Each structure stands twice: as structure tokens, then as C-alpha cells.
Structure 1
Amino acid sequence: MTHLDSRNLPLSTKSDLAAERYREGVDLLLSAWPGAAEALDEAIAVDPDFALAHAARARLHAVRTELASAKAKIAKAEEIVSRHGTERERSHVQVLSLAISGQAAKALERALDHADRWPRDILILSLPLGAFGLFAFSGMSNHDQARVDLCERHARHFNGDDWWFLTYLGWAHAENGNVTHGRKLTERGYELRIDNANAAHALSHAMYEAGAGEDAERLLANWLPRYDRAGILHGHIAWHSALGALERGDPERALAIYENYIQPSVTAGMPVNVVSDTASFLWRLQAYGHTVPAGLWAAAATYSAEYFQKAGFAFADVHMALIAAAVGDTAAVGQRTEALTGLIDAGALAAGPVVPAICRAALSFAEEDYPGCVRILEPVAAEVVRIGGSGAQREMIEDMLLLALMRSGEVVKARQLLDHRLHRRPSPRDMRWQAMLTA
């Protein structure tokens, strides 16, 4: 009897239970839901020669930044498929191995080739997708469009009823500006599997991009209690709720969400989310004119000191610089900027000069040198997309430029940027700022 995965691809295991637990584990992994580790560990225990179970477990370790464990598990998967694995399984393991070993460009190339041959192998198809996927962190300026193109190229293989695919197809469209269509698709994916943190997250993004902040807040307020706090996206999804409260002009509510669900001492999130969510929330709170309680920036700095000290991960670099600037560590910002410039000179930073520019601008903003911030940030504003992440995450950099323009007396330019933003996405905060500029 041939065992199949959840998308009807054959699996090299003779165990019914191992195949069942693998299917469950992968779906839990791809919905960012607790229990994936236990399911995959049981699949491995039942069949220690089940290569794809080892590979999926390696992927989960990598998502949690448990790199030593990820490398050990993927090495085991490689050893097994070298002895007895199908062509698809060997390719599957190789793509994950490249991603785990940090060879992102090669991993992206091989993942796209693999998807052309086996489009329903969704663990591999997932790698280029999402705000933290291989496309987003490739340094490409058109990664939003690239995700849409990839999903649409393979849509015919999913028959319009796959919860995972609909979620990512909708998210890709919403991030790329086709918000109404993206929200409709994402809502369908969410309905098909509500116990799916990626779907709730994607739907909140679609609502945010549509200017439906209150819809997003209601969605998350109703949904988040069903998601265990051990879930890796729990804190980040709460971050969206906190941003919604800030948009409405309710900093007390936003700060309560931060303290209860987002700050490093209370979240089980991925380090990249914890660093970026803490930095960007506290920056917004302060930049919008509210008081950051004593100790919160210091706690973010203490946590971040354990991660991303080596420059070269553009999205993390920007948020590490924000934290360093906020706590007055100008030397750290300078060292990171110098290291990034060296990587650019060596052709080793795909996102390019926009990354050290944002780091320098963050320091200028923190030092209240608003004209200096404008001089640094305005020329590279169109390139911010290269750092990856989502539109909601990158909007902070646009806020930095807008506030720097306002505080520098550049009223005409500030109005032009605000008009563009309000046309793209109605925002209560932007409307308040527009009223200030026209008063």
C-alpha cells in the first residue's frame, strides 16, 4: 500500500501511523498551530527511516531559530534519501537543506524548480511565500508581484478548495495591491480552516490594507482566544491588534496589549517577530507622541542582544538599529551601518544601500535631527520594499519619513505623501495628521 501526504503525493514509509502523523504535523506546521512538533516526532519514532518526517521537523526547528537541531535533522533526512528516496523526496530534502544552511538564493531557485515539477508539494511551495519567505528576503523590489505570479501559476493544481493555498494566494494579492480580491480569497481559506494562525494573520492584513481596521480588530478579538499562547504567531497577531488601537488613538489599549501579549517576557514568538514587533510598536508609540513606560526599550534591547548581532539580514538589521537608536547606543548603529556598507561593497547584501540608509535615518530621527532623517531617507524611500516583511511592517519607515517631513516644516511634501497614503488606504491616524497640516 502506498501512503500519501495530505495533497496526495506518495510517501516513502510503510507505516500507516507515521504517514498519518506526518500529514497532521505538516498541516499544523503550515497553519502555525501548536502540536506540529509532537506529531512529527511521533512519525519519526514510529518510522526512524522516514526522511520527509525528519525534513519537516528540521523545517520546524528552523522556523523557531533552533538552527543546530534543524541542521542535525536535515542531515539525517539527507542520509536517508541518499539510500532510499524518490526523486521528489530527494529534491524536497535538498531544497530544505539549502534553506536551513543559509543558501537562500539557491534555495529559492531550487524551490521554484521543484514547484514546477511537484506544485502540490506545499511544504516546498510555502518557502518562497509569506512576509518572511524566500521572495520577501531576497532583496527583490518586486517580491510582492513575484508571490502573486507563483501562486497564480500553480492555482489550477488546487481546485479552489485548499485552505492552505487560498490563504497564501489571497495574502499575495492583498499585499500586491489587489486588496478586495485578496480579502475574498483569504476569507475563504480562513473559513475552511479556522484553526490556522496564518489565515487569521493574512485576513487581518487584508483588512488592514483595505482600511478596515475595525473589522481586523473584531476578527482578532474573537479569534485570538482560541489560539494557545504557545503558538509562534500569537504575539505577532496581537501586535496587529495593538496597531489597530494606536490607529484609533487609544494608546492605553495598545500598550495593554503589548504588555500582556507582545513584549519579550510574555511571548513565545519567533525571534525575528519578537525583535521586529517590539521595536516597531515602541517606535510607533513614541513617534506618535505617547510615552513609552520606563524599561520597555531596555527590555527589547536585552532580548535583541541574543539575536541578529551579525549584519546582513536586512529586515532584522533595520529593527536592531531602531532599538539601538532608541536606547542611545549610537556606536551599535554605527557598527551595523559600517558592516552593512562593507557587505554592499562585497556584493553580499541583496537588499542594497537602502538598509544602512534606514539604520542611519533611524538614528537621526531618534536624535531629533529631522532634516537629516529626510535627507537620508527620502532618496531611498522607493527601495524600502527590498527589506522584506509585509506592507504593514514597512509602513513604519514611511511613517518615519512623513513625521520627519512634518517636523522639518516640509509641509508640501508631507501633504503629498499623506494624500498618497489616504488614497491607498484610509487611516484614522493619517486623517488626524492631515487635519494638523491643514489647520
Structure 2
Amino acid sequence: MLAALHGADAAFEAAIAEDPDFALAHIGRARVHQLNMEGAKARAKAADARQLAAAATPRERQHIEIMASVIEGQGKKAMTSAEQHLAEYPRDAQVLSLLLGAFGLYAFSGRPDHDAARLAICERYVRDYGDDWWFLTYLGWSKTEAGDVVSGRAITERGYAAKPENAGAAHAVAHALFEQGDAAEGRSFLSAWLPANDRTSFLQGHLAWHLALIAIEEGDADSALEIYEQHIKPAGRPYPPLNIFTDTASLLWRLTVAGKAGLEQHWKDVAAYGDGYFPKAGAHFADVHHALVAATTNNDALEARLVEMAARDADGRLAPGPAAIGLGRGIAAFAAGDHHDAVRILAPLMPELVRIGGSHAQRELWEDTFIVACLRAGQGRQAASLISERLHRRPSRRDLAWSLEAARQ
């Protein structure tokens, strides 16, 4: 699980067969069910683990309770309990992993400081983990996302060298290269890693998504679409549904913004996939991506989802708050060709974008949409500061072209 490789489900099943009373194996199996959106099975296995935990140690009982809380959607409780547990048992990597990553408890908490929180807890336990390959990967990635890209890349590469087949490390390297604007090295790295590790990881499709982003950055939408069709589109992919849905929706949207036509069937396929796994508002990162799909294929579905999100917000169950709803309305305006309205809606939401979680690379989609809306509305100067900030962070041929266009308006 920590290396994002296939096979954890079979390993936990084998452990349960060997020792049916092994509570930690049951909760581990429950976690894999959850990642695969098998909710009923996940909750049943978590219940088994809780029942068996009566004979476990206090450390094991806490571990089980934290993971069960995640499975039951009690993110705030799980986050607080995990922090307390790690203060006593810092080497419980599975518990620490729940807090980390683009889809971790910190990222999806709605906090604007989740990048800093992730880095802080990693730095707190540096001495406990030393040169552990998994920990170095997440320490490095956390530094990269928090803005210390040079140090983050160096630490990530140490973790990658210790276990090159670790898809999590390959992912962290891809992010570092993205943040440094090194498209050539990013393409070279991913083009080598992906075929060398074919079908070994549930991050395979997401790493191909990173490769497609490089193609879009270089103005090669045709290559990006080819990568999508070969490695990312939803049919038959053995990856977690949240990864599949967000990767497919976001890449098709980026291709659309880049001017690529003829994507109608792909959009329909992604809409059908999303309806199967995310039919109602719930996981907010799926919901903001649902807006991309519905704005392109079914405006009625988008309005219904935004109403559901508003109800969750009123109940205090929408972690990013009303900003997530506003992003959906801005996307709808853009898709309808009303770029002035898209600018009006999205402009005040740019500082709030961090609250939806994910990574910088994932959130840039909404920044890109805002920038293009400004340019198409003849309001390029509104986007000038955002473009400048991005160019200050890393070189980008596309951002430079947008900057020049904005300056002419």
C-alpha cells in the first residue's frame, strides 16, 4: 500500500486466511475496499476489525479506530486521533500516511494551510524514520508542495533511489519536475518509468496524466489526447475511482480549454463513469470535478449537484465551504461561453482554491480556466498578477504566452 503497488488486497486476504483473528489485517483490507469505492465491504471489514480489536494491544486498537473513522467518513475525528496516536507511536506509517498526500486528511480538510501542516508533521518525525524509503518520498513531496522545491526534489530522489519501483516516489519526482518547469526531464523520466513498471501500480494512470500535462504545456494537444486514450480513459482501468474520475475529467477539460475538439464521446464516457461511482454530492474533490463534466454534458445535473453541495455546506459537511460551489458556477459560465461572468465568479475564488485539496498541479486547472476566461473577455490585466506569480515560481512556455497576450489587452 505504501508504495502504491497492486497486490495489497491479496496480501491482506492471505494474512486473514492465515490468522482470522488478526484485526490489523482486517482493517487493512477494509482500507483497500475503501480506496476502490467498495463502501459496504469496507464498512463490514472495519466492523470485523473493531470486534477483533478487543483482544489487541492499545496501540493496535487505536490504529484500527483511526482507520475505521476514515472509512466511515469521520475525517476530523480521524485527523485528530491520528495526530495523538503518532505522538506516542510515530513509526506507525500507515496512520501517518492517512494525513499525507494530495488526497490525505490534511488535503481534504478544507484548511488553507494543509501544505504547511503536511510538512510540519513530516518534519516532526524525521529522526524516527531516518532514511526510510517511504518517509523520504513524502517528506520530499511535502517540501515541494510547500514551496521548497529544490530541497524537496533532492529528498524525494533519495527516497526514489532507495526503491525505484515505488510508484509514490515516481509520483513525487514528477511533481518536483512539474514545479521546476522542467518539461524535458519530466517527459524523459515518466516515459522511462511507465513502461518499465507497466501494470504494477494503481498510480499508473495518474502518472500518465502527468505526462499528458507536459504535452499540453508544450502545445501538443494531440499527444495529450493519445496518452489519454491509451492510458487514462476510464474503461477497464484497475485504479481507484477517485483517481480515474478526477484524472479523466481534468484532462478532458484542459484539452477543451486548449482548443481540442471532437471530445464528445470521451465526455459521455466520463459522465457515465462518474454517475456510477459519484452519483450524489459527498467527496468534494469528486464534486468539483463533476462540475467540469456536467457543465460540458448536462447542465441540469450540474445544478442538481450544486444544490446538494449547498445542503452539505449548510450542515457543515462541505469542507472547502461555499468556494467549492462557486467554482462549479464559474465553470458553468465558462462552458457556456460567458467569459465575463466566469471572470466575475472565479476572480474572488482564486485565493480560496487551496481549500479543495489535491496538489498544485491539480488545482492549476481552475487557475488556467480563470486566466483563459480573462483573456477571452478582454480582461487580461485581471489575470496578470496570477500569471506573474506562476512564472516567478517556475518557467512555463504557456504562461509566458498568456502573459504577453494579457499585456496587449
Pairwise same-fold verdict (TM > 0.5): yes
Query: Structure 1 pair 321/293, CA: closer, same or farther in 2 (3 Å)?
Result: closer
* 2:344 aligns with one of 375, 378, 384: 375
* 2:93 aligns with one of 106, 116, 122: 122
> Which residue number corresponds to residue 213 of structure 2?
243
> Which residue number corresponds to residue 409 of structure 1?
378
| 1:260–1:266 CA contact under 8 A, matched in 2 | no
* Cα offset, 1:227, TM superposition: 2.5
* 1:286 aligns with one of 243, 256, 279: 256
> Which residue number corresponds to residue 61 of structure 2?
90
Amino acid at match of 2:149: V
Structure 1 segments of 4 or more deviating over 4 A?
none
> Which residue number corresponds to residue 334 of structure 1?
303
Task: State the identity as a percent.
Answer: 47
1:178 aligns with 2:148: yes
> Which residue number corresponds to residue 229 of structure 2?
259
Distance 2:265 2:375 in 1: 29
Distance 1:79 1:244 in 2: 48
- Size of the aligned set, in residue pairs, is 408
Q: How does 1:22-101 map to 2 (within 5 A)?
A: 29-82=1-54, 84-101=55-72
> Which residue number corresponds to residue 7 of structure 1?
none
> Which residue number corresponds to residue 208 of structure 1?
178
Distance 2:334 2:87 in 1: 46
How does the TM-score come out when normalised to structure 2?
Answer: 0.97
Distance 2:326 2:396 in 1: 27
Query: Structure 1 pair 39/205, CA: closer, same or farther in 2 (3 Å)?
Result: same
Gaps of 5+ in 1: 1-28
Distance 1:133 1:120 in 2: 18
Query: Structure 1 pair 139/362, CA: closer, same or farther in 2 (3 Å)?
Result: same
1:144 aligns with 2:125: no
| 2:380–2:405 CA contact under 8 A, matched in 1 | no
How does the TM-score come out when normalised to structure 1?
Answer: 0.90
Post-superposition Cα deviations, 1:59-96, rounded to whole Å, max 9, x if no partner, equal 111112122221222211111111x1111001000101
Distance 2:128 2:57 in 1: 21
| 1:286–1:292 CA contact under 8 A, matched in 2 | no
Distance 2:319 2:15 in 1: 38
* Cα offset, 1:438, TM superposition: 4.5
* Cα offset, 1:294, TM superposition: 3.8
> Which residue number corresponds to residue 389 of structure 2?
420
| 2:346–2:370 CA contact under 8 A, matched in 1 | yes
Distance 1:230 1:282 in 2: 25
Amino acid at match of 1:162: D
SS of alignment partner, residue 201 of structure 1: helix
1:366 aligns with 2:338: no
SS of alignment partner, residue 291 of structure 2: helix
| 2:202–2:239 CA contact under 8 A, matched in 1 | yes
* Cα offset, 1:230, TM superposition: 6.0
> Which residue number corresponds to residue 8 of structure 1?
none
Distance 1:346 1:101 in 2: 17
SS of alignment partner, residue 302 of structure 2: helix
Distance 1:313 1:34 in 2: 24
| 2:221–2:258 CA contact under 8 A, matched in 1 | no
Amino acid at match of 2:92: D
Query: Structure 1 pair 228/54, CA: closer, same or farther in 2 (3 Å)?
Result: farther
> Which residue number corresponds to residue 311 of structure 1?
281
Distance 1:293 1:332 in 2: 19
* Cα offset, 1:104, TM superposition: 0.9
| 1:242–1:257 CA contact under 8 A, matched in 2 | yes
* Cα offset, 1:189, TM superposition: 0.6
1:298 aligns with 2:268: yes
1:135 aligns with 2:106: yes
Post-superposition Cα deviations, 1:114-140, rounded to whole Å, max 9, x if no partner, equal 111101000111001000001111111
Distance 1:206 1:334 in 2: 37
Bigger mean CA offset, 163-172 vs 262-271: 262-271
Amino acid at match of 1:374: V
Post-superposition Cα deviations, 1:241-297, rounded to whole Å, max 9, x if no partner, equal 011111111112111100000001142221111111111111111111222434111
Q: Which has the higher helix share?
A: 2
* Cα offset, 1:181, TM superposition: 0.7
Distance 1:62 1:428 in 2: 40
Distance 1:57 1:389 in 2: 24
Post-superposition Cα deviations, 1:206-228, rounded to whole Å, max 9, x if no partner, equal 11011112211111111111324
Pairwise CA RMSD: 1.3
Gaps of 5+ in 2: none
Distance 1:69 1:362 in 2: 35
> Which residue number corresponds to residue 201 of structure 2?
231
